[in-house]
């Protein structure tokens, strides 16, 4: 995992959490609170899952057990010449 990938995943988790709140608030006015909760739950669950996975991954990187590659280092997708 590159550092930029971690940033993108963090922003994705934040965006999904924000989407969950927006879906909950707007659909609550139209279809009621119970159905709004069911519609917003997948976004919130996905946001929490991504954030928890990213937390574990970055904690392992901070402990030195699974380092994160910088953007200028060759990774598995690029060939070092």
CB-side neighbour CA atoms (13 Å) of 39: 17
Residue 72: the pLDDT is 63
* pLDDT string in tens for the chain (81-residue length): 899 999 999 999 999 999 999 999 999 999 999 999 999 999 999 999 999 999 999 999 999 999 988 766 555 555 554
**Considering Cα of 53, then 57, then 58, then 63, what sign does the dihedral take?**
positive
Helices 3-31 and 33-62, axial angle in degrees (round to 10)? 170
SS3 2: strand
pTM: 0.81
**Nearest CA among 68, 43, 44 for reference residue 54:** 68
């Amino acid at each position: 995992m590159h550092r930029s990938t971690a940033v993108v995943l963090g922003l994705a988790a934040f965006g999904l959490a924000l989407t969950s709140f927006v879906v909950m608030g707007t659909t609550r006015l139209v279809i009621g609170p119970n159905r709004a909760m069911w519609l917003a739950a997948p976004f919130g669950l996905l946001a929490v899952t991504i954030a928890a996975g990213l937390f574990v991954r970055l904690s392992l990187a901070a402990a030195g057990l699974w380092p994160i590659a910088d953007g200028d280092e060759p990774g598995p997708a690029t060939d070092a010449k």
